Amino acid sequence: MTAIPVIALDAMGGDRAPDIVIAGAALARARHPDVKFIFYGDEPRIRALIEQHPELNTVSEIRHAPDVIAADLKPSLALRQGRNSSMRMAIDAVAKGEASSVVSAGNTGALMATAKFVLKTLPGIDRPAIASVVPTKIGESVMLDLGANVECDAENLVQFALMGAIYCRAVLGISNPTIGLLNIGTEEMKGHDEIRAAAAILRERALPGRFHGFVEGNHVPAGIVDVVVTDGFSGNIALKMLEGTAQLITYFVRQTFDASLMAKIGYVLARGAMKKLKLRADPRRYNGAMFLGLQGVCVKSHGGTDATGFANAIAVAYKLVDRRFNDRIGEELARHYGSVGSVTVSDENFSEVTDITA
Amino acid sequence: MTAIPVIALDAMGGDRAPDIVIAGAALARARHPDVKFIFYGDEPRIRALIEQHPELNTVSEIRHAPDVIAADLKPSLALRQGRNSSMRMAIDAVAKGEASSVVSAGNTGALMATAKFVLKTLPGIDRPAIASVVPTKIGESVMLDLGANVECDAENLVQFALMGAIYCRAVLGISNPTIGLLNIGTEEMKGHDEIRAAAAILRERALPGRFHGFVEGNHVPAGIVDVVVTDGFSGNIALKMLEGTAQLITYFVRQTFDASLMAKIGYVLARGAMKKLKLRADPRRYNGAMFLGLQGVCVKSHGGTDATGFANAIAVAYKLVDRRFNDRIGEELARHYGSVGSVTVSDENFSEVTDITA
């Protein structure tokens, strides 16, 4: 257990590791002056990189990890063969209470499988979910699951709704968040059995927010609800459609300004505003997918991001720890169910209990 | 079936019917001088509107339909109670061979259920799918299913792939279209059983195109494949995320140009190019969802569209007839399976009612 914001970093995960991990940590340190890091990976390489960022010197520790989890390694193999990998050792640090959280830009499947195995799920939560903040017309929403669970039953979806709402309250400061279930229509009869059953439960249950009902794909960027709940298959496709379409339209805009001399001059005049637009739509701003529902904070950075993006992923982990997100889940579950024990899963969830988020 | 381009129009479907239906027909007539219309609905109102468009006079027939299918009527009720509705009568015209195709901006679920019941599926196709052309970085792709089938088995997905590829060949003029299955990763192990089984079949089977493998959400706007195959649940969410995100980014762009005086001046200079951008991203351009796999051409217009959008939906129907899309399906199935008769369609396929949205 640690209150000190020590963040374990998998220095070897991602396309441009370890360089962007150390550079990202330096950016994050400037933003959060109380943060400390433990880097896991190839010690000599990490040491050399830290020398280029002297501000990291006094706040960083390096732990040598001989192995690296390959980007295409199957999660099951990563679990079996990865005991001495930078990813596994960084997650272990959270389980041991040496770090409050872990950030990795490595293999998503391996990270989820390992985090689930090492950290265990929170009492009252059956399955962890991948969540991310997405931009909307009126601000930001949180969407989950984004790919951890290809198939979800009604209770899984309800638990995702709870976690999303608690995230809104704890991290985004929205006191009464609205919750929507992503569906193909807003009428009660729409969708498949699981989603209709989840809606029935959410309509009845006391929630840390308000159940809005079903929402459709276009309602997500419109910001109709604060929490968008979906299974991991549809959620992953939805998030990537959002990313891809944002890229498509910005590409169309760029082409537009290249189309004529007048348009080019117009672009030069609007350059300042266009820069702000670019920042606003910058995917790096939204880098850092949260693995919610684990006994420990685990954040996945995009594998292809740069130092700025990686620093944002670190900021996501920092906030989850700082706002006591995991404690809040326990508190809210206790509030809504009387005692967390009553909703709980099996004993195995408590066997390796290390509450590291306090 | 008729080779004469007579199109049956449900004059009473959609938010602004019958006005935009007749106005849309007038626009379509200007584009396709050989087209003729049969309008189904409230005869006096339709007659009054046609008087405002004298160019429609000699090429239009009006058939009075006493009933209208309400926008929120359940598909099963629409089937039972809608015998004298403008929608049903327009579909009946295709079944009778009086019209080559039908276009409606009415209740999607009712339209699909009625079209399926009246027209029946094509031999070799178990379930119809909703398809639409979507804009991409390099042109256009066709995506299906967009909501007719919430759950699909592997064979359904394979048939969607076939229909999508044939559409590309017949209508888009792409001789060897690439086919992708929408998934949450490109590796073979990704996704659920049905999609992996569909991939296994598509890898083996002779196709009117080339199976690319799995594609992710962001690959759709990037234009990685010509045909995007998915179940109706994910497909509907994906399409609406595309629409919503396009709106979001264009909203950001508009805000950008309002942000400063310089940006406003820049906008004025770039106005011509911006207009082209607006046209390019105009959702009306992509109006007209195709119900593929039926023994007849049926196109669903967005309920909230205007005359321009409705004219585009008519153009979609016109092209499907003109390029003999349904005949091509039969020909391709015969080519690939020896005889279409070997793939049987059971009676139960006609009895079930699908709830959908598009």
Q: What ipTM is given for this predicted complex?
A: 0.88
Model confidence pLDDT, tens digit, residues B93-104: 999 999 999 999
Per-residue model confidence (pLDDT) at position B33: 93
Tokens of A316: 């996501």
Q: Which residues of B touch A217 (CB under 8 A)?
A: 236-244
Testing the interface with B: which of A74, A240, A251, A275 to mutate, by most B Cβ within 10 A?
A240
Q: Give the bridge partners for B8, in sequence order.
A: B38, B102
Q: Which residues of A touch B222 (CB under 8 A)?
A: 244, 247-248
Q: Which residues of A touch B265 (CB under 8 A)?
A: 266, 269-270
Q: Which residues of B touch A222 (CB under 8 A)?
A: 244, 247-248
Return the CA Rg of chain A.
Answer: 21
Q: How far is CA A215 from the centre of its chain?
A: 22
Q: Which residues of A touch B182 (CB under 8 A)?
A: 237
Q: How far is CA B98 from the centre of its chain?
A: 21
| Antiparallel, parallel or unpaired: β A139-144 and A129-136 | antiparallel
Contact yes or no for A244 and B219 at CB 8 A: yes
Residue B80: other Cβ atoms inside 10 A = 10
Residue A33: other Cβ atoms inside 10 A = 8
Per-residue model confidence (pLDDT) at position B338: 59
Domains in chain A (CATH in brackets) are 6-125+293-351 (3.40.718.10), 133-284 (3.40.718.10)
**Average pLDDT for residues B141-157, to the nearest whole number?**
96
Per-residue model confidence (pLDDT) at position B354: 36
**Average pLDDT for residues B240-260, to the nearest whole number?**
87
A76 interfacial to chain B (CB closer than 8 Å): no
Residue B335: other Cβ atoms inside 10 A = 11
**Average pLDDT for residues B67-86, to the nearest whole number?**
95
Per-residue model confidence (pLDDT) at position A337: 66
Residue B349: other Cβ atoms inside 10 A = 15
Per-residue model confidence (pLDDT) at position B349: 34
Per-residue model confidence (pLDDT) at position A358: 26
Strand, helix or coil at B290?
strand
Mean pLDDT by 10 residues, chain A (358 residues): 79 96 97 96 97 94 97 93 97 97 96 97 94 94 96 96 96 96 92 96 93 97 97 96 91 83 83 79 87 97 95 96 93 70 36 28
Q: Which amino acid is at B342?
A: S
Of B232, B250, B256, nearest to A249 by CB-CB distance is B250
Per-residue model confidence (pLDDT) at position B303: 93
Tokens of B106: 């009415």
- H-run or E-run covering B268: helix B261-269
Strand, helix or coil at B326?
helix
Q: How far is CA A15 from CA A51, A104, A155, in A?
A: 21, 11, 36
Model confidence pLDDT, tens digit, residues B305-335: 999 999 999 999 999 999 999 999 988 888 7
The span from the CA of B118 to the CA of B111, in Å, is 10
Q: How many residues does chain B have?
A: 358
Return the CA Rg of chain B.
Answer: 21
The span from the CA of B210 to the CA of A288, in Å, is 36
Backbone angles phi, psi at A213, to 5 degrees: 120, -155
Q: Which of residues 121-150 of A touch B (CB under 8 A)?
A: 135-137, 147, 150
Contact yes or no for B247 and A222 at CB 8 A: yes
Of B151, B256, B269, nearest to A277 by CB-CB distance is B256
Of B243, B253, B260, nearest to A272 by CB-CB distance is B260
pLDDT range class, residue B188, cuts 50, 70, 90 = confident
Q: Which residue of B has its CA nearest to A272?
A: B263
What pTM was computed for the model? 0.90
Of A151, A191, A247, nearest to B150 by CB-CB distance is A191
Give the closest-approach CA distance of A60 to chain B in angstroms: 35
Contact yes or no for A192 and B151 at CB 8 A: yes
A71-78 contacts at long range (C-beta below 8 A, 24 or more positions apart):
A71/A15, A71/A106, A71/A107, A71/A303, A72/A107, A72/B187, A73/A107, A73/A110, A74/A109, A74/A110, A74/B189, A75/A107, A75/A109, A75/A110, A75/A112, A75/A113, A75/A114, A76/A113, A78/A107, A78/A109, A78/A110, A78/A113, A78/A114
pLDDT range class, residue B275, cuts 50, 70, 90 = confident
Per-residue model confidence (pLDDT) at position B164: 97
**Average pLDDT for residues B170-197, to the nearest whole number?**
94
B285 interfacial to chain A (CB closer than 8 Å): no
B240 interfacial to chain A (CB closer than 8 Å): yes
Q: Which of residues 180-199 of B touch A (CB under 8 A)?
A: 182, 184, 187, 189, 191-192
Per-residue model confidence (pLDDT) at position A332: 84
Strand, helix or coil at A99?
coil
Lowest-confidence pick of A36-40, B119-123, B185-189:
B185-189
B213 interfacial to chain A (CB closer than 8 Å): no
